[in-house]
Amino acid sequence: MKKVKVGDTCKAVCQDCKAVVDITFQLRDVPFSNGMGIVEQVLSGVCNQCDRVISIPHQSTPEIKKAYDKYTAEGGSSEQKTKA
pLDDT tops 80 at residue 81? no
Is residue 35 domain-resident?
yes
Q: Tell me, what's the pLDDT at 34? A: 83
- Does residue 65 form part of some domain? yes
**Domain annotation covers residue 2:** no
Point out which residues pair with 61 in neighbouring strands: none
Residue 49 gets the label, from left (phi > 0), alpha (psi -120 to 50) or beta, of alpha
> What is the CATH number for 28?
3.10.20
| 46 is a domain residue | yes
Under 8 Å between Cβ of 66 and 39: no
The overall average pLDDT reported for the chain is: 90
Domain count, the chain: 1
Q: What is the pLDDT of residues 43-63, one digit of tens each?
A: 999 999 999 999 999 999 999
Segments forming the whole domain that contains residue 59: 9-83
Q: What is the pLDDT of residue 78?
A: 44
In the chain, what percentage of residues exceed pLDDT 90? Answer: 70
For 58, other C-beta atoms within 10 Å of its C-beta total 10
